[in-house]
Amino acid sequence: MASPPVSVGRPATIHDIAALCGVAPSTVSRALSTPDRVNVRTRERIQAAAVELNYTPNSQAKALSSGRTAAVGVLVPDITNPFYFDLIRGTQLQLKAAGYTQLLVDTEESDEVEASTLEQLRKSSDGVIVAASRLNDESLAAAAARMPMVTVNRDVDGVPAVIIDTPSAMTQALDHLISLGHISVAYIAGPVVSQSSARRWAALTQVAEDRGVQVRNLGPFAPKKQSGAAAADAAVHSGVTACIVFNDLIAIGMLQRLRERGIRVPEDMSIVGCDDIFGADFCNPPLTTLSSPIEQAGRVAVSMLLAQLNPLGGGGVRSRSVMPTHLTVRGSTTSAPGN
Amino acid sequence: MASPPVSVGRPATIHDIAALCGVAPSTVSRALSTPDRVNVRTRERIQAAAVELNYTPNSQAKALSSGRTAAVGVLVPDITNPFYFDLIRGTQLQLKAAGYTQLLVDTEESDEVEASTLEQLRKSSDGVIVAASRLNDESLAAAAARMPMVTVNRDVDGVPAVIIDTPSAMTQALDHLISLGHISVAYIAGPVVSQSSARRWAALTQVAEDRGVQVRNLGPFAPKKQSGAAAADAAVHSGVTACIVFNDLIAIGMLQRLRERGIRVPEDMSIVGCDDIFGADFCNPPLTTLSSPIEQAGRVAVSMLLAQLNPLGGGGVRSRSVMPTHLTVRGSTTSAPGN
DNA sequence: AACTCGCTGACAACCGGTTGCCATTCGATG
DNA sequence: CATCGAATGGCAACCGGTTGTCAGCGAGTT
């Protein structure tokens, strides 16, 4: 088996190919990017030479001259939050399949980092996917007006979005708790700038009113495992028998804290998380949580963005996509004490 | 508070600045990148104009003309493996601090994807950090000869490397088990192409011989949680009372499987993991594991790479860096049955 | 045979910067 | 006052592609 020619020295350019074939560089360019524009014989000669020289186009140059970078920025607030792992993998796979490069940036939960990153990405990418933006509505809408964008878990007018959300699932979660006899429930809130958290709280109050149970709002808490300690303490102090928690990270932190304090989960306190992240199935006890197809959300976000970039398809661009979620009952919920 | 000028329409270029200031574009370029080369008055005029026009350089153009992309590729075999989260965060933070962009690629545990990614990155980045390469030694060395590279957890002659390794820690792990009375121990091996796994096994056999205990090699297993089931079954079947596991992912999978099979950890079987990933502290039981400063490893890898890129500093480039690791004892290890 | 038209390839401008080289200016020095 | 060199700014080539335009050529039409 003949190994492919190993490129040695400087990578080949279209000029090298042109020289080798005795044609102009522009002909080489056309032979490779718009083959119909070139005679079959010439084209084949050029393609053979390209293979022989192990030619691969210089993406910088391509970007500069064509204006398209074949790169897409993906912004997440915290790269170490397992929630984003699956999202990132989803975007990565889908982008790669479409021939795009993923530029992953951790915005460190900061709106300023997010804004400056967006500004920079405006020139170095064809579009961006922004997960859980910490920007305010105006800034986000303004940014979206200047470059193709799809948000994840953030709904702003005029900006295409993938919502992995749980208003409907919140009903399932609360009904699950109610069916177990809980009548005093706390919502452990996420960051104030998180629209997901606000949306979940809104859904929850709505359902609670319908069902005639009490739900109180505790927090806000940072979406980190460490925050679970304060959240657990607040929950215990509030006297509720069950918590619905903004995300699994905090929920897992609560589990640990409650164990330290000798409060049994689920016997003394039931916990429902959100997202079903890595770890939710093997923590102790395994977490009852609202599962969402996160990786799929990443894929959908990419599809929506690519549809914006290449509006060839007939139909208009889908501007909002809601991912279905469902309750996964594990070991962190049971009957209310005394039931 | 005056908001910064919002860039509207096409982003400003040095030509716009040049026109505004009545100078040549080259002067603008110098004023911004080699300020000493330009008269103070002119420079300040240009800088003011740059701010006013909200100028940010086009990185593509910069890359094309200067040959440096200010981007660094980071290759990991599996982006959803929590081990890499911290590594990625480490590289991301350090790269951003140095003004570089991180190009993250998931090579899907495939040597082919890895090779083609490296070839592509050769032109679109200034250097690469390759974690847990699945490439053979020759290919890796060849790739490293063609572009600046630092490997993580992979030691190949002539390629600068950060080794988060555990030969010394393996001693601690085995001695820990021996002190608990275990005399029959299994090593649950990772992928055959993983040098880390081979290195750990080598260290283990060495120590085992010194101490006069039996250690057997089981596997190989894919570095995924699901592999834990097979690994657990193999361990049980082999009759050992303790396992040292290639990584925490497999170890956690084993925990789940053993629980399903009614085998108690640690009473019936002790488990020691490697890496202390997210989840190792809250699984059930919490995992005794070899902890490593993974995020720091990422930072060090970046530092070593940047030292290669800008060899200004006096001293030679450090070509190998070993991160210290230590045993973290949690709940998955205890005395051997019958002791 | 003259004319038109499509196919094909070359030329050159351009994307937005960087950089080598040269001309001018100016102050300092002999 | 002539000379020299440093400081400064401009010109133009270049990085590696893309793309608009045009000329040459051959085939088809009348």
For residue B260, is it within any domain?
A: yes
Q: What is the DSSP letter of B3?
A: P
Whether residues A207 and A300 fall in one domain: no
User: B241-279, pLDDT tens digit by residue?
Assistant: 999 999 999 999 999 999 999 999 999 999 999 999 999
For residue A338, is it within any domain?
A: no
Whether residues A233 and A198 fall in one domain: yes
Residue A22, domain CATH: 1.10.260
* Residue whose entry in the numeric block shows the structure tokens 């490593």: B292
Mean pLDDT of A298-314: 86
> What are the distances in angstroms from CA B322 to CA A76, B80, B96, B192, B301?
31, 25, 23, 22, 11
Mean pLDDT of B206-223: 93
Count the Cβ atoms, other than its own, within 10 Å of residue B287. Answer: 30
Residue B40: CB less than 7 A from any atom in strand D: yes
Whether residues B279 and B171 fall in one domain: yes
Contact A56 B104 (CB under 8 A): no
Count the Cβ atoms, other than its own, within 10 Å of residue A189. Answer: 20
State the nucleotide closest to B58 in CA–C1' terms: C16
pLDDT for the residue numbered A311 = 73
Query: How far is it between the farthest Cα atoms of chain A?
Result: 89
Written as six digits, the tokens of B24 are 């040549």
Q: Which is nearest to A254 in space by CA: B136, B227, B282?
A: B282
For residue A179, is it within any domain?
A: yes
Q: How confident is the model at residue A166 (pLDDT cuts 50, 70, 90)?
A: confident
Determine contact, residues B306/B125, Cβ cutoff 8 Å: no
Count the Cβ atoms, other than its own, within 10 Å of residue A239. Answer: 9
* Nucleotides of chain D touched by protein CB (<7 A): 7-20
Residue B239, domain CATH: 3.40.50.2300
pLDDT for the residue numbered B235 = 97
Q: How many domains, in total, are found in chain A?
A: 3
In whole angstroms, what is the distance from residue A180 CA to residue B319 CA? 61
In whole angstroms, what is the distance from residue A162 CA to residue A159 CA? 10
Whether residues A78 and A122 fall in one domain: yes
Whether residues A73 and A138 fall in one domain: yes
Q: Which is nearest to A31 in space by CA: A18, A7, A56, A5?
A: A18
In whole angstroms, what is the distance from residue A107 CA to residue A134 CA? 9
Contact A86 B104 (CB under 8 A): no
Whether residues B183 and B257 fall in one domain: yes
Whether residues B123 and B134 fall in one domain: yes
For residue A244, is it within any domain?
A: yes
Mean pLDDT of A148-168: 91
- Which of B13, B54, B79, B295 is the best residue to mutate to test the A interface, defined by the most A CB atoms within 10 Å of its own CB? B79
Asked if B89 reaches chain A (Cβ–Cβ under 8 Å), the answer is yes
**A102: chain B residues, CB-CB within 8 Å:** 103-105
- Give the pairing type, strands A127-131 and A149-152: parallel
Axis-axis angle for helices B82-97, B248-260 (nearest 10):
160
In whole angstroms, what is the distance from residue A332 CA to residue A171 CA? 18
For residue B335, is it within any domain?
A: no
Q: Which is nearest to B66 in space by CA: B56, B58, B74, B77?
A: B58
Closest residue, CA to C1' of C20 = B26
pLDDT for the residue numbered A313 = 59
User: B286-296, pLDDT tens digit by residue?
Assistant: 999 999 999 99
pLDDT for the residue numbered A4 = 45
Whether the pLDDT of residue B3 is over 90: the answer is no
Asked if B86 reaches chain A (Cβ–Cβ under 8 Å), the answer is yes
Whether the pLDDT of residue B236 is over 90: the answer is yes
Written as six digits, the tokens of A281 are 């199935």
Whether residues A188 and A284 fall in one domain: yes
Determine contact, residues A213/A185, Cβ cutoff 8 Å: yes
User: A221-257, pLDDT tens digit by residue?
Assistant: 999 999 999 999 999 999 999 999 999 999 999 999 9
- Range of the structural domain that residue A310 is part of: 66-163+294-317
Asked if A51 reaches chain B (Cβ–Cβ under 8 Å), the answer is no
Q: What part of B 7-36 touches A (C-beta under 8 Å)?
A: 7, 11
For residue A34, is it within any domain?
A: yes
User: B147-173, pLDDT tens digit by residue?
Assistant: 999 999 999 999 999 998 778 889 899
Asked if A82 reaches chain B (Cβ–Cβ under 8 Å), the answer is yes
pLDDT for the residue numbered B188 = 97
In whole angstroms, what is the distance from residue A134 CA to residue A223 CA? 13
Contact B6 A142 (CB under 8 A): yes
Q: What part of B 255-274 touches A (C-beta under 8 Å)?
A: 255-256
Whether residues B171 and B264 fall in one domain: yes
Q: Which is nearest to B267 in space by CA: B328, B329, B336?
A: B336
pLDDT for the residue numbered B29 = 96
pLDDT for the residue numbered A312 = 65
Q: How confident is the model at residue A28 (pLDDT cuts 50, 70, 90)?
A: very high
**B94: chain A residues, CB-CB within 8 Å:** none
Whether residues A177 and A279 fall in one domain: yes
Burial annotation B196-230 (CB, 10 A radius, 16+ → b, else e) = bbebbbebbeebbeeeebebeebbbbbbebebbbb
- Which of B58, B65, B80 is the best residue to mutate to test the A interface, defined by the most A CB atoms within 10 Å of its own CB? B80
Whether residues A136 and A146 fall in one domain: yes
Whether residues A107 and A150 fall in one domain: yes
pLDDT for the residue numbered A338 = 81
Q: Measure B36 CA to C30 C1' (Å).
A: 30
Weakest-pLDDT range from A70-84, A146-160, B3-17 = B3-17
Whether the pLDDT of residue A7 is over 80: the answer is no
For residue B338, is it within any domain?
A: no
Sequence-separated (6 or more) residues with CB below 8 Å from residue B222: B109, B191
- Return left, alpha or beta for A241; rule: phi > 0 is left, psi -120 to 50 is alpha, else beta: alpha
Share of chain B above pLDDT 70, in %: 96
For residue A88, is it within any domain?
A: yes
In whole angstroms, what is the distance from residue A254 CA to residue A179 CA? 23
